[in-house]
Structure 1
Amino acid sequence: METDTNKPKVKRSGKKKLLWILGGILLFFSVIIFIVYIRFNSLLTAALLKNFNSTSISEVYELKFERLSVNLVLGNIKVYDVQFHPREVPLRNYPYINTSLKLKTNKILLTNVEIFTLLKSNILKLDRVEIAEPSVSLFITDDIPILFPFRDTTHVDTTVAKDAKSPVGSFLLKEFELVDASFEVVNLAKEREFSIKKFNISLQDLLISQLTGYDVISYKHIDISIEGAKGKLQKESVRHASFSEFRIAIDSLEVRKSIDTLIYDFTDLRTVLKDLDLQTADSVFHIAMKSFDLHYKDKSIKLEQVLFKPNITEAAMQARYKYQNTQFSGSVGSLQLLGVNFDSLIYQKKLLIDEVVLDSVFASLFKDKSKPMDTGKFPEYLGQTVMAIPMPLLVKQVKATNVNLVNRERNPDGTYGKANVNRATLMVEHVSNLSPGEPMVIHAEAYLENKVHFKATLGFSYQKPEFSFNGRLGKFNLPDLNPIIQAYSPAAINGGTVDEITFSGIAYKTFSEGNMKFLYHDLNIALELREEAKWRNSVLAFAANTAVATANPAEGQPAREVKFHADRDMNKAFVNLVIKSILDGLKETIVMSKENRKIQNEKKKEMKQEEKKEKKK
Structure 2
Amino acid sequence: MAFTLFKQKWQRVTFYVVLGFVVVIMLLSLALNVYFSPMLESKLKSSIAESSDSLYKIEFSKASLNLLQGKVVIDDATLKVDKAVYNKKKKAGTAPNNLYDIRVNQIRITGANPLKYFFSRKAAISKIVLNEPSIDMSYEANNTEDKPKGDKRTIWQRMSKTLKSARVGEIWLNNLKFRHTDYSHKKPLRTEVRELNLKATDLFIASTTQADTSRFFYCSDIVTEVNNYNGKTPNGLYFYKVKSIKLSTKSKQLTLIGATLKPFNRLLFFNKTRSERFDLSFDTIRLNNFNFISYYRYRTFTASSLSASHGVADIFGAPNKIPNYQKDAAASFPHMALRKLDFGLRIDTINLKKVHIIYSEFNKKSQKNGSITFSNTSGQIFNVTNNKKALKKNNISTIKLTTYFMDRGRLDVTFKLNLTADNAAFSYKGTLGPMPLSALNKAIGPISMVKVASGSVTRFDFDVDATRYAAKGKMTFLYKDLKINILKRDEESGKLKKKGLTSLLANYLVIERNNPDEPGKQPRSANITFVRPLNYPFFKIAWKTLFAGVKECAGVSEMDEKRANAKMSEGDLEKQRGEKDD
Fold match (TM-score > 0.5):
yes
For residue 320 of structure 1, what is the amino acid of its counterpart? K
Q: Distance in 1 between matches of 2:373 and 2:60?
A: 67
Q: Distance in 1 between matches of 2:343 and 2:240?
A: 25
Q: Structure 1 pair 267/408, CA: closer, same or farther in 2 (3 Å)? A: same
Could you say which residue in structure 2 is the equivalent of 1:125? Answer: 118
Please give the secondary structure, in 2, of the residue aligned with 1:528. strand
Q: Distance in 2 between matches of 1:348 and 1:107?
A: 33
Q: Structure 1 pair 595/179, CA: closer, same or farther in 2 (3 Å)? A: same
Q: Distance in 2 between matches of 1:429 and 1:405?
A: 20
Superposed CA RMSD: 4.7
Task: For structure 2, list consecutive stretches of 5 or more residues without a partner in the other structure.
Answer: 47-56, 87-98, 141-154, 183-187, 208-214, 492-501, 562-582
Q: Distance in 2 between matches of 1:469 and 1:583?
A: 14
What is the identity percentage for the equivalent residue pairs of Structure 1 and Structure 2? Answer: 16
- CA apart distance, 1:419: 2.0
Written as runs of structure 1 = structure 2, the 5 A alignment for 1:221-300 is: 223-230=170-177, 237-243=189-195, 245-249=197-201, 252=204, 266=218, 268-280=220-232, 281=234, 284-300=237-253
Q: Structure 1 pair 366/52, CA: closer, same or farther in 2 (3 Å)? A: same
Could you say which residue in structure 2 is the equivalent of 1:483? Answer: 442
* TM-score with structure 1 setting the length: 0.64
- CA apart distance, 1:405: 1.0
Aligned equivalent of 2:391, options 423, 435, 445: 435
Written as runs of structure 1 = structure 2, the 5 A alignment for 1:455-494 is: 455-462=412-419, 463=421, 464-494=423-453
Q: Structure 1 pair 221/208, CA: closer, same or farther in 2 (3 Å)? A: farther
Aligned equivalent of 1:416, options 369, 374, 377: 369
CA contact (8 A) 1:527 1:544 kept: no
Aligned equivalent of 2:511, options 548, 555, 561: 548
- Higher share in helix: 2
Higher relative contact order (CA 8 A, sep 6+): 2
Q: Structure 1 pair 216/564, CA: closer, same or farther in 2 (3 Å)? A: farther
CA contact (8 A) 1:223 1:248 kept: yes
Q: Distance in 1 between matches of 2:44 and 2:281?
A: 53
- CA apart distance, 1:363: 0.8
Q: Distance in 2 between matches of 1:582 and 1:111?
A: 72
Does residue 450 (structure 1) correspond to residue 438 (structure 2)? The answer is no
Could you say which residue in structure 2 is the equivalent of 1:354? Answer: 304
Q: Structure 1 pair 471/531, CA: closer, same or farther in 2 (3 Å)? A: farther
Deviations 1:231-290 (A, max 9, x none): 5667754554333544343654679xxxxxxx9764743424242412025654333334
Does residue 386 (structure 1) correspond to residue 324 (structure 2)? The answer is no
For residue 477 of structure 2, what is the amino acid of its counterpart? F
- CA apart distance, 1:527: 0.5
Could you say which residue in structure 2 is the equivalent of 1:395? Answer: 347
- CA apart distance, 1:583: 1.0
CA contact (8 A) 1:362 1:405 kept: yes
Q: Distance in 2 between matches of 1:63 and 1:594?
A: 85
- CA apart distance, 1:17: 13
Q: Distance in 2 between matches of 1:17 and 1:445?
A: 89
Deviations 1:457-498 (A, max 9, x none): 221223242211222212222112221221312111111122
Does residue 578 (structure 1) correspond to residue 566 (structure 2)? The answer is no
Could you say which residue in structure 1 is the equivalent of 2:463? Answer: 504
Could you say which residue in structure 1 is the equivalent of 2:321? Answer: 371
- CA apart distance, 1:370: 3.5
Q: Distance in 1 between matches of 2:435 and 2:100?
A: 69
Could you say which residue in structure 2 is the equivalent of 1:495? Answer: 454
For residue 245 of structure 2, what is the amino acid of its counterpart? F
CA contact (8 A) 2:228 2:244 kept: yes
Could you say which residue in structure 1 is the equivalent of 2:270? Answer: 318
Written as runs of structure 1 = structure 2, the 5 A alignment for 1:83-232 is: 83=75, 96=85, 112-114=113-115, 125=118, 172-179=122-129, 181-185=131-135, 210=159, 220=167, 223-230=170-177
Could you say which residue in structure 2 is the equivalent of 1:426? Answer: 379
Deviations 1:191-237 (A, max 9, x none): xxxxxxxxxxxxxxx9795479xx99975555344444455667754
Task: For structure 1, list consecutive stretches of 5 or more residues without a partner in the other structure.
Answer: 1-14, 87-92, 116-123, 128-170, 191-205, 256-262, 533-539, 598-617
For residue 508 of structure 1, what is the amino acid of its counterpart? T
Count of residue pairs brought into register by the alignment: 486
Could you say which residue in structure 2 is the equivalent of 1:328? Answer: 278
Q: Distance in 2 between matches of 1:99 and 1:358?
A: 33
